[in-house]
Structure 1
Amino acid sequence: MMKFAISLAVTAATLLAAPAFAADSAPARFDPLQTFAPYSYPQPATAYRSASGKPGPLFWQNRADYTITATLDPATRLLSGSEVISYTNHSPDALDVLWLQLDQNRYRRDARGAFTSKFPTEFTDGYKIASVEVDDAHGRRQPVKWLVSDTRMQVQLPTALKGNGGSLRLHVAWSYTVPGEFGGRTDVNPSKNGEIFEIAQWYPRMAVYDDLRGWDTAPYLNSEFYLEYGDFDYAITVPWDMLVAGSGELVNPDEVLTKTERQRLEQARRSDATVMIRTPEEVTQPSSRPKQSGTLTWHFRMQNTRDVAFGASKAFVWDAARINLPEGKTALAMSVYPVESGGNAAWGRATEYLKASTEYFSKQWYPYPWPVAINEAGTAGGMEYPGITFDHKLAKGKNLHMVIAHEIGHSWFPMIVGSNERRDAWMDEGFNTFIDVYEDDAFNHGEYAPKRDSEYAPGGGNPADEIAAVLADPAAPAPLNGADMTPEKYRHPISYFKGAFGLVLLREQIIGPERFDPAFRRYIATWAYKHPSPSDFFRFMESDTGEDLGWFWRGWYEHNWQLDLAVQKVAYTGGDYRKGADVTVANLDRLVLPATLQVVYDDGSKQDIRVPVETWQQHRSYVIHVAGTRKLVSATIDPAHALPDANRGNNTLKVK
């Protein structure tokens, strides 16, 4: 997880005036006609996606179900496998070709991504594709032509796949060498009692065919994923002494676990306290495995998911506890980690953190849908896949809680709400950072709160001031510019920080929790297991909350506009303070936000006046009458520093 720290000096203006108190101001860049111009959504409304932000009457989505068998040879680091993809074409189009993602080709020296971002720690030859076949009309396999282009593979079908429900079975046999770590994704890393394999992006995966672009074949450079939903049935064969922790539910525990481990697992399903399934002492004991030679095949199933991943090692300690979900449902939280990562200061509490965060997100936003959630310790350092997270084995305390909550939070974005991470990272990282900030406040009565001190503003700075510094950077891209076009320097500030802070502004300043929270829940439920676009989110939140927010989408997501509110003048009404005061406020830059104007009287009392965003639809400055019968000491716009104001020096006018 990346951190971003920028300091911003904030000074208060002290200004002397007579009956009318005025402040100098720089020429304003704000133009109401530009800021409030009719907003053009990035994607149009159609019969597939309605103007309300919901799936339209003709909405469709293709489906990919997988059956996978794979074998891991730790000695050679070779992972070899075969898969059957049952692909259903719900689109109205006949498909002459299929496209698959081959992410392991990112590790080749000639990969496109090698020329756009940092190099892997080591190169490999990528995938070796042994065969590609489809079933003919009689269910017999027949070879088909295929072409690899960087991290994609095109399969040329002998007969076009019919639309509106046509289906086929695609068979692919493949192998590759497990690479060293790259970008915190997948790797093999050492530990005291054996190597840890973190296996992700490991099988050829169907690309998405949707109503926005047809085949979405953006190559894998370094940005993340866009995948179809389906059911997975997969089996991993490893040496007898290795444990495998995989997405979904283990369906053959009798074959791969000892009787004692099975009993402990059942105990964990009923326990809110963490139960040890395989203790640190048992890691080096052959009796902790049901056999002492050969191999074992671990069989998993996961339904309605975009992907699966797994970890494998003979070094794993294993513990688990029950997750309590809404409506009396339960799931299982599990952690696997090396002995040296244990202890209550570190991974000994990992399952506690996982359980608490999953329960919080389920209650607050949408119930966790899968039977198991897993933390796996290695060197990936913070990477998410459906039902499993790869978190750093050296993380402890606050940092471990933070990374676990954030990575399992990705179960909601983008594992449940399947946005296109490869293009719109802010709908993935930003939305997830937004929800885990509040989880941090809730965990164990605020044990590690507030997260804003470490994620938004390292060192305890104000998050609004921190993001104001990002907005002031002329080189900083806007979120809608696209994930692969965002330089690494700005990946965290824009995708995570700005994406999250935009939702904080919507919830706490623009809409209010009483309208935002129910709308956001309905957005998640509406687009669960579907592929919303940025426009779908924009339209949904407008329609459901009853706010025209085009001005915010333009200023915050389409552009990197700055906010500069100012108090320019204070005058007692009719020259008599007993009749109140007239306060002139101004918007000097292109971003607008609703704000609070606070006046302080000479007896220490205060009065707050809400300044709605509509104030600026026709005005660059506006005079607000403030009722009162006492003399004023000061007038301040945004006294709580909740807004990302570029110049706090003109926010306060002191009256002497």
Structure 2
Amino acid sequence: MRISKPLCRAATKPLLKASAATGLATLLVAAAPPPAQTGPEQGPKPAHIFAPIDYPTAINRYRSADGTPGPDYWHNRADYRIDVALDAPAHRLTGQETITYRNNSPSTLNVLWLQLEQNIYRETSRGAAAMPARFKAHGHTEGMQIDRVALLDAHGKEIAVTPLISDTRMQIALPTPLAPASTVKFTVSWHYEVPGTWGGRTAVTPSRNGDIFEIAQFYPRMAVFDDLRGWDTAPYLGGEFYLDYGDIDYRVTVPSNFLVVGSGALLNEKDVLTAQERQHLAQARMSEKRVLIRNQADIETASHLSAKGTRSWHFFMPNTRDVAFVASAALLWDAAKLDLPPVAPAPRLKPTPRLAMSVYPVEGIGPQAWDRSTEYVKHSIEYFSSSWYPYPWATAINVGGHGAGMEYPGIVFDGMQDRDAKLFWITTHELGHGWFPMIVGSNERRHGFMDEGFNTFIDSLASRHFNKGEFAPKQDGEYAPDTGKPADDIVKILKDPVYDPLMTSSTIPGHGNRHAMTYFKAAYGLELLRSQILGPERFDRAFRHYIAVWAYKHPTPSDFFRLMESDAGEDLSWFWRGWYFENRSPDYALDAINYTDKDPKRGVSLTISNKGWLPLPVTLAVTREDGSVERLIIPTEVWSGGNTHVVTLKGGSPVRRASLDPDHAIPDIDRSNDALSPAPPPSSPASSH
């Protein structure tokens, strides 16, 4: 989702060589309760900092001690067959779906729960109550009107049922409970009014050549039943989502002059595209550069044509948690091939080359605007695939429309006015969500840092990689000050008591700027882990493993913490506690520099104090009068025994200056005491003549 402080500079600076090789065997002492509120003069408590940590999710047959899915791990499955029709003049969407829901859990289900996110636009919704200013300025709709719900028996006969609707949720009571390893099939019919631009993620946006319909959260979707809470039915308050996986086969009927681009593979090109469009699409499948499939002349012609009836566009997306689409007569369309192995878009169809695509109105045309969008799409998908996990779907689409900056599997909604670095950053960020949470299906509604933070971290690395760093470092100026060093940028956040810890549930309205935490702090935490604690080699291998074992499953924060520890070979409880469960920060001071017997040739000792509750590894740099520089890493475990540490160096030239964290690699919240220059050593008797 848009509105992020991307990992501005953290992943774009060269990594400190010494820290990349650092191994921290953290010394744990007896478990201790959280410390009482004490004044800063009393100092950090090692017994608390290094105590073992009890993770919220227990180890059991479903979730293993090493952070991987357990031998009996399960998740349920929901397959959809959807037909929707868009009445463009009336801004009305009508739909019918058949859901096949399989209960893979060990529980017998008496009810089913579905999500009706369009109900947030109702005047009486909880979301409207939580955000009164937004709805007061724009008005309301009647939300999603459920016309009929029917269960299907073994012979396909419909049995009508009366659902119970509660805000943005719908419950279906089952006349026969759904046993483990059983399947239920049912149909739902509905309609709703598509909001105007104020709808945000699902909106109608005017453009020079007609309205653009960005359609998301448009069908009743199964809630998740999991091993943590049973049915997870947190109401939709305008945040994010939590969904199960399945195949989605959907058709969209629109006026005949409309283009529809949606998640997944288009199955009926011959029915909806002209011969010229099919020819251009075939060229795009072989091209590294974008090929225009619909150009400005095409859409200006289409926008002035009276629609003669309708056309139905047929899409299929396998193993996905959701789909979305855009429909309009006003969209240019270009595409290029993705350099990835072909995938079959649907059963019984031959594999075809995959495509990076962009659709946008004439307002988006420009050499540093949407003319480059597909270049950015192509880079993002290929880079993330090679770095972390292969992209699984047939297409990746960037839409230039209202500008909600919102992600759905295979398609993202960005702004037609986005330009220059902003367009690259938002495109890369939203497409990065294809990995978190579209592939790794974490619970966004409860643990926002697991999608926004993880994604912000990987797309900051993509910014450095693209075109020799053309748009690096990633930034958007949202979190002042932008000093050019992330360790300094985040200090303001770490020092401000208004912010809630990262582990605070996303369903709880937070204090301060949510994005400062779930985007910036969460992403920067991974950068600290990668560059300062584990090193890139250990971190990257563990992070790839995390993605691979939790692909199309539902990990918790506890699973992530355990897997990273197990794979990396470190007890990181001190880091998880300080950065995720509490709002702690590092704070070091260089107190004194002394020579042995007052003679620098006999040795030098440097006294360092730890004043912070998050003792990250820190670099000590010592510059001698002869110009030589010594650098060493002070590891975290030295602080398990107390808050003072003495470093002793060999004798030699007098010290000109010593400093802690000279590269600003960690967020030391008080740098005023990080450097020291000693008094000159006394002159020897011989030198006085």
What residue number does 1:511 align with? 534
Deviations 1:129-160 (A, max 9, x none): 00111112443110123100010001100000
* Of 337, 356, 373, the match for 1:350: 373
User: Structure 1 vs Structure 2: percent identity of aligned residues?
Assistant: 52
Instruction: Give 1:566 deviation, angstroms.
Output: 1.2
Deviations 1:538-595 (A, max 9, x none): 0000000001011111110011112211111111133221122111111112112111
Q: Distance in 1 between matches of 2:461 and 2:42?
A: 36
What residue number does 1:299 align with? 314
Instruction: Give 1:653 deviation, angstroms.
Output: 1.5
* Of 267, 283, 293, the match for 1:277: 293
What residue number does 2:23 align with? none
The change in CA–CA distance for 1:460 and 1:570 in structure 2 (over 3 A counts) is closer
Q: Distance in 2 between matches of 1:51 and 1:456?
A: 37
CA contact (8 A) 1:258 1:288 kept: no
* Of 127, 131, 141, the match for 1:124: 141
Instruction: Give the AA of the match of 2:338.
Output: I
TM-score, normalised with respect to structure 2: 0.90
What residue number does 1:320 align with? 335
What residue number does 2:232 align with? 216
Deviations 1:490-520 (A, max 9, x none): 2110000011000000000010001000111
CA contact (8 A) 1:565 1:588 kept: yes
Number of equivalences: 637
Equivalences for 1:576-655 in 2 at 5 Å? Answer: 576-655=599-678
Deviations 1:437-482 (A, max 9, x none): 0100011111111115757766443211121110111110111111
The change in CA–CA distance for 1:152 and 1:194 in structure 2 (over 3 A counts) is same
Q: Distance in 2 between matches of 1:432 and 1:588?
A: 32
What residue number does 2:218 align with? 202
Single out whichever of 232-241 and 172-181 deviates more from structure 2.
172-181
Instruction: Give the AA of the match of 1:402.
Output: W
Q: Distance in 1 between matches of 2:547 and 2:298?
A: 42
Equivalences for 1:160-559 in 2 at 5 Å? Answer: 160-163=177-180, 165-182=181-198, 184-286=200-302, 293-325=308-340, 330-452=353-475, 454=477, 459-487=482-510, 489-559=512-582
Instruction: Give 1:102 deviation, angstroms.
Output: 0.5
* Of 31, 35, 56, the match for 2:45: 31
What residue number does 2:21 align with? none
Matching of residue 40 in structure 1 with residue 54 in structure 2: yes
Q: Distance in 2 between matches of 1:615 and 1:182?
A: 55
Q: Distance in 1 between matches of 2:147 and 2:618?
A: 62
Secondary structure (helix, strand or coil) at the match of 1:169 reads: strand
Deviations 1:408-456 (A, max 9, x none): 0000000000000000000000000000001000111111111157577
CA contact (8 A) 2:303 2:329 kept: no
Q: RMSD in angstroms over aligned alpha carbons? A: 2.1
Single out whichever of 213-222 and 627-636 deviates more from structure 2.
627-636
Deviations 1:264-290 (A, max 9, x none): 10110110011000011111224999x
What residue number does 2:682 align with? none
Instruction: Give the AA of the match of 2:149.
Output: V
The change in CA–CA distance for 1:287 and 1:563 in structure 2 (over 3 A counts) is closer
Q: Distance in 2 between matches of 1:114 and 1:632?
A: 64
Q: Distance in 1 between matches of 2:591 and 2:341?
A: 52
CA contact (8 A) 1:185 1:200 kept: yes
Q: Distance in 1 between matches of 2:342 and 2:46?
A: 49
Instruction: Give 1:3 deviation, angstroms.
Output: 5.3
Instruction: Give the AA of the match of 1:588.
Output: K
Secondary structure (helix, strand or coil) at the match of 2:316 reads: strand
Q: Distance in 1 between matches of 2:632 and 2:4?
A: 36
Q: Distance in 1 between matches of 2:105 and 2:570?
A: 33
Instruction: Give the AA of the match of 2:71.
Output: P
CA contact (8 A) 2:251 2:312 kept: yes
Q: Distance in 1 between matches of 2:142 and 2:672?
A: 57
The change in CA–CA distance for 1:219 and 1:450 in structure 2 (over 3 A counts) is same
- Which segments of structure 1 move beyond 6 Å, counting only runs of 4 or more? 326-329, 455-458
Instruction: Give 1:604 deviation, angstroms.
Output: 2.5
Deviations 1:330-372 (A, max 9, x none): 5200000001211212101000111011111111111111010
Q: Distance in 1 between matches of 2:114 and 2:409?
A: 19
Single out whichever of 577-586 and 254-263 deviates more from structure 2.
577-586
Gaps of 5+ in 1: 8-24
Q: Distance in 1 between matches of 2:328 and 2:154?
A: 42
CA contact (8 A) 2:234 2:507 kept: no
Single out whichever of 190-199 and 618-627 deviates more from structure 2.
618-627
CA contact (8 A) 1:194 1:313 kept: yes
The change in CA–CA distance for 1:326 and 1:617 in structure 2 (over 3 A counts) is farther
What residue number does 1:22 align with? none
Secondary structure (helix, strand or coil) at the match of 1:168 reads: strand
Secondary structure (helix, strand or coil) at the match of 2:641 reads: coil
Instruction: Give the AA of the match of 2:172.
Output: V
Instruction: Give the AA of the match of 1:146.
Output: P
Instruction: Give the AA of the match of 1:185.
Output: R
Instruction: Give 1:627 deviation, angstroms.
Output: 2.3
Secondary structure (helix, strand or coil) at the match of 2:384 reads: helix
Gaps of 5+ in 2: 9-38, 344-351, 680-689
What residue number does 1:567 align with? 590
Matching of residue 82 in structure 1 with residue 96 in structure 2: yes
Deviations 1:18-43 (A, max 9, x none): xxxxxxx9725310001111101011
The change in CA–CA distance for 1:287 and 1:465 in structure 2 (over 3 A counts) is closer
Single out whichever of 622-631 and 32-41 deviates more from structure 2.
622-631
CA contact (8 A) 1:326 1:367 kept: no
* Of 98, 115, 123, the match for 1:101: 115
Instruction: Give 1:612 deviation, angstroms.
Output: 0.7
Secondary structure (helix, strand or coil) at the match of 2:607 reads: strand
The change in CA–CA distance for 1:602 and 1:53 in structure 2 (over 3 A counts) is same
The change in CA–CA distance for 1:48 and 1:4 in structure 2 (over 3 A counts) is closer
Deviations 1:49-99 (A, max 9, x none): 001100001101100000000000111100010000100000000000000
The change in CA–CA distance for 1:4 and 1:351 in structure 2 (over 3 A counts) is closer
Q: Distance in 2 between matches of 1:394 and 1:474?
A: 37
TM-score, normalised with respect to structure 1: 0.94
Q: Distance in 2 between matches of 1:327 and 1:576?
A: 70
Q: Distance in 1 between matches of 2:437 and 2:105?
A: 22
